[in-house]
Chain A
């Protein structure tokens, strides 16, 4: 789960980079940039969840 979360973080960043390189209209850039950040948020949530499970297991 942790690895998947970090991969999602990277994937979100790559969406942001691709948006800059491939799209030129401001509205399309905004939408895809926000989509990239949303993917990153999902990844962050997964990483946080993985560490919560780990800390519960430690207890």
Chain B
């Protein structure tokens, strides 16, 4: 939480930024839908609305009481003679929050949108086979346990944020725009879901070779990228102001950097696919664009524009490689590339803070390296086992994968009773001369 006194104009500016954040969710929804099959398109949109709604309700009812805001009541234990802030102790249902334009109330609003974004990420990995009810139930676990717990450690003044104060690790774990608590948490949950529901029927042949199942609407995907761009600028700016003590006047730099991240990542992806396949691949270039946005979340407020181009280009490159690795070598069927885009690129963005960030002081980046590595180790060593075990337990009681007949019919007909594109059905009587 910023220690700066918030003027009314700063609060109004921050509020306007936060109101643009749902555009990132709209963009992700379009991308998830476009990269799935046409017979599951309506299901993808309804599931997106469902998980955003469930995430908001669960977070307000319960999640915020675990996450809290820096400087507010929390449970602290002593370890090695230092305080370890593990979990917030806010009342349920936001009863302790005053909605007076203060940074606390703005943080709550941003968090409600942020948890919705995190919940959208796994939908991409479970596309065409993850049941609607199961995705909503899984979101209860994400918004009620995984997200608020890790979010408190990073954005709520928890032990990761205080690594600098308590252990002299430069500025502690730095993540202005939610690369860790939104993107990597969402990406690791997506990995868990992809493992638990298994690949789509027909994705892998008997000898393990993956078949290409192209997305049904690339226009949705590319328009989603443009919407997400605006939403990400707002998310990175508002997050940096509220959680990383960045002056509101630096929002222009954050917007420039976010744009450069996305641009260089998309161009890199286009160049790589052009050199490998002879032509730039539209959906992989879109994945590159999103990977740039994800990688921008942690460092956008702390790096120079030239560094943004370099970090974005690397994000685009590693994401394309990761998508191929997950699909071909690791047998993980992730139709939208969510694991590579959100988890892999998000982790690269967190590392880039240690490599490229300039905080304008003399603390140096050696301690920052350790702080960022501790955060990444926590994501892999705590969040991944937690989210996998929660979803595995859910799967035991409420199977997450649709049955064989449902997958053959398509999720729209099976779960919603109607397709997204009824006009696309060709009726034989249309060709009879009258």
Q: Interface on A for B, CB 8 Å cutoff?
A: 6, 9-14, 16-17, 20-22, 26, 29-30, 33-34, 36-37, 40, 43-44, 48, 51-52, 55-56, 58-59
Contact = CB atoms under 8 A, between A and B. Distances in A.
Contacts of B388: 6
A14 B79 CA distance: 13
B199 interface: yes
Contacts of A34: 373
A10 B385 contact: yes
A9 B385 CA distance: 7
A56 B330 CA distance: 11
B80 A51 contact: no
A51 to B, nearest CB: 5
A12 B366 CA distance: 21
B381 A10 contact: yes
A30 B195 contact: no
Given A9-B385, A56-B208, A59-B206, A16 B377 contact: yes
Contact of B374 (A9, A20, A58): A20
Contacts of B331: 51-52, 55-56
A27 B389 CA distance: 34
Q: Which of B195, B206, B208 has the most CB of A within 10 A?
A: B195
A11 B244 CA distance: 30
B381 A40 contact: yes
B378 A16 contact: yes
Contacts of B377: 12-13, 16, 33, 36-37, 40
B198 A33 contact: no
A9 B384 CA distance: 8
B382 to A, nearest CB: 5
Interface in B348-377: 366-367, 370, 373-374, 376-377
B62 interface: no
B251 interface: no
A53 to B, nearest CB: 10
Interface string B197-219: 01100001010100000000000
Contacts of A44: 380, 384
B167 interface: yes
Contact of A13 (B208, B378, B389): B378
3 nearest CB pairs, A to B: A13-B381, A21-B80, A55-B331
B110 interface: no
Given A9-B385, A51-B331, A55-B208, 15 more contacts: A6-B388, A9-B380, A9-B384, A12-B381, A13-B377, A16-B374, A16-B378, A21-B82, A33-B373, A37-B373, A40-B377, A40-B381, A48-B330, A55-B199, A59-B208
7 contacts: A6-B388, A13-B378, A16-B381, A26-B370, A44-B380, A55-B198, A56-B331
B163 interface: yes
B167 A20 contact: yes
Contacts of A37: 373, 376-377, 380
B370 A10 contact: no
Interface string B375-402: 0111011101100110000000000000
A16 B377 CA distance: 7
Nearest to B78: A21
A22 B376 CA distance: 20
A10 B389 CA distance: 12
A2 B103 CA distance: 43
Given A9-B380, A21-B80, A56-B208, A33 B374 contact: yes
A8 to B, nearest CB: 9
A9 B381 contact: yes
A4 B364 CA distance: 38
Q: Which of B330, B367, B380 has the most CB of A within 10 A?
A: B380
B184 to A, nearest CB: 14
A40 to B, nearest CB: 5
